[in-house]
Amino acid sequence: MTSDEQIERFAEWQRELRPWGFTPFFAQQLEELLDGRQDLIPGRIVREHRGARLLVTPSGEVEARTKGALRHRSAGVHELPAIGDWVLATPTERDDELALIVAVFDRTSRFLRKVAGARTEAQVVAANLDHVFVVMGLDGDYNPRRLERFLVTARESGAEPVVVLNKSDLAPDLDSQRAEIEALAGDTHVHVTAAKRGEGLDPLWQYLGPGTTVALVGSSGAGKSTLVNNLYGERVMATGEVREGDDRGRHTTSHRELIRLPNGALLIDNPGIRELQLWDSDSGLDAAFVDISELAVACRFRDCRHQDEPGCAVVAAVENGALPAERLSSYHKLIAELAALERRQETAAKLEEKRKWRTIHKAARKHKPRSM
């Protein structure tokens, strides 16, 4: 392929993929990632379900699987490609054969969490986001402490978080609940909706411009899929009833899917997250607890832990009622969780280093020349 043909090919790809969020940031990576290969095409992951991935490419939708060893432009980035990722894949013309994802583009952002359970591994929930809608119901789903956790992770992602307080029609005390969330959200915008009734949705459109990608995260039963359906204008995601007693859902959304709205905005609906464990969220913690960070400037000691140190301005704020005690308790809990995670990461890294050197020494002994 000549240079002019390659330029025209790239231009055509960009025209076809721009509506799906293919910005110059990704276009600039094309040539290096292709590395001269003519058999690869770019695409965005728009659906994940049981390990299979659906890509939107310049030639249409393609089912794909992931190559065992992927090329990432960023050193140290080893996570599997996720919903919203831009990738390179080998196309296929057979209906019974899956394309093969061989490379992943650099990300502009990623909503990252620790996998559930004891494994010390990270999971990318969604990638290349402009905004994250943190959705929480104002019924039995209402939990300010859980929302703090989501905001820490959302701020760490690199995308702009937005709080959506849904089910206002079921709120036992709407005014006080909204005031409480606005206080802990800081400069994060808070919007109140009743998605099932289609109420309060207009302010959300300011974040949903053509080509803009927004992920919805929250617990099951918060109303994420109902929000998607109402923003789309028709039912595109299944919704379900919530349990009696706690108003939690039953994971009606069982897969992750990127949906293009009629106006060109891109929404990612995610299954409800029952347990959001933090991963590498130090800066996100500071941003989510800016009220504590501002108070800490007046502490006597720069390394104050805001526990029992003399001259602690944060503890003083709790004592005089300026800062809720539950807020500081939540901060301490998340700090402890991140510290424990860091210790587990260090242990895992040491074990991996030992495993690597054992493999090297074993290979060296195997190939050691015999003495004459």
The whole-number pLDDT of residue 236 equals 67
Structural domain includes residue 225: yes
CATH number, domain of 310, equals 1.10.40.50
CATH number, domain of 75, equals 2.40.50.140
User: Residues 100, 211: one domain?
Assistant: no
CATH number, domain of 194, equals 3.40.50.300
Tokens of 104: 């992943």
User: Residues 162, 134: one domain?
Assistant: yes
Looking at the DSSP bridge assignments, the partners of residue 52 are 49
Residue-number span of the structural domain to which 157 is assigned: 110-269
Rounded to 10°, the helix 144-156/325-366 angle is 50
Structural domain includes residue 274: no
Distance between CA atoms of 259 and 242, rounded to whole angstroms?
24
User: Residues 207, 257: one domain?
Assistant: yes
User: Residues 196, 260: one domain?
Assistant: yes
Structural domain includes residue 136: yes
Structural domain includes residue 275: no
User: Residues 50, 73: one domain?
Assistant: yes
User: Residues 157, 49: one domain?
Assistant: no
Distance between CA atoms of 270 and 258, rounded to whole angstroms?
9
User: Residues 136, 196: one domain?
Assistant: yes
User: Residues 196, 80: one domain?
Assistant: no
The whole-number pLDDT of residue 244 equals 46
Instruction: Name the domain count of the chain.
Output: 3
The whole-number pLDDT of residue 68 equals 67
Q: Helix (H, G, I), strand (E, B), or coil: what is residue 242?
A: coil
Residue of 71, 147, 151 whose CA lies nearest to 111: 151
User: Residues 150, 252: one domain?
Assistant: yes
Q: What is the DSSP string of 9-54?
A: HHHHHHHHHGGGT--HHHHTTHHHHHTT-SS-EEEEEEEEETTEEE
Distance between CA atoms of 153 and 162, rounded to whole angstroms?
12
**What is the mean pLDDT for each group of 10 consecutive residues in the chain (372 residues)?**
83 95 95 89 90 89 81 53 94 75 93 70 88 96 92 91 97 96 94 95 97 93 92 72 47 74 94 68 77 92 91 95 91 83 64 66 63 52
218-259: pLDDT as tens digits: 988 899 999 999 999 877 666 555 444 444 444 455 578 999
